[in-house]
Amino acid sequence: MESDHWTTPTCACWTPCSRTPALSNQALAARVHASPPTCLRRVKRLREAGLIERQVAMLPPDRLAPVLGHGLTAMVEITLDRQGAEAGRLRGRVQRRRRRCSSATASRPGRTSCWWCRLPDMPAYHALVQRLFTQDANVRNVKAFFSVKRAKFEPKTPISSARRS
């Protein structure tokens, strides 16, 4: 989406959509004080531009715990042994295939990445480490931080008012 399309009305439509993606078009229009066709057009433009990637349901871990168990959440920092674009691309392909890892980010090009992993228990974490973080996978160091309690989680991206026109 070009920056001239990123207007205040478009931001006004995007913000409620990011908080409540199941909001109907009529409810969105009432919330942002615009007509339903205007909101529909703006949301469609955001989707076509790839700014709305997908809509997801947030499952509260405390309510799922009686059914599925508490599980294990780990933030794993991985430092690669060999640097370079090819090693980084290979690591990216591996990250995208791992369904247990909900998020993977690179903090330095081709060198360090952080993975957020949600696993059923410690043996499952151990199996993940054995499969992915070995010397064969070009991994030098692995540092893991385990979550005890999730205090806050909001998958939102704040839009600076300075960028709005």
User: What's the pLDDT score for residue 146?
Assistant: 92
pLDDT of residue 113: 77
Residue 26 DSSP label: H
What distance in Å separates the CA atoms of residue 133 and residue 137, rounded to the nearest whole number?
Answer: 6
The backbone torsions φ and ψ at residue 124, rounded to the nearest 5 degrees and listed phi first, read -70, -40
**pLDDT for position 144:** 92
125: number of Cβ within 10 Å? 19
Residue 138 region by backbone torsions, left for phi larger than 0, else alpha for psi between -120 and 50, else beta: left
d(CA 89, CA 128): 20
Dihedrals phi, psi of 92, to nearest 5 degrees: -65, -40
Q: What is the pLDDT of residue 110?
A: 57
pTM: 0.61
Contact 16, 28 (CB under 8 A): yes
Tokens of 156: 């939102």
List the chain residues with pLDDT less than 50: 1, 161-165
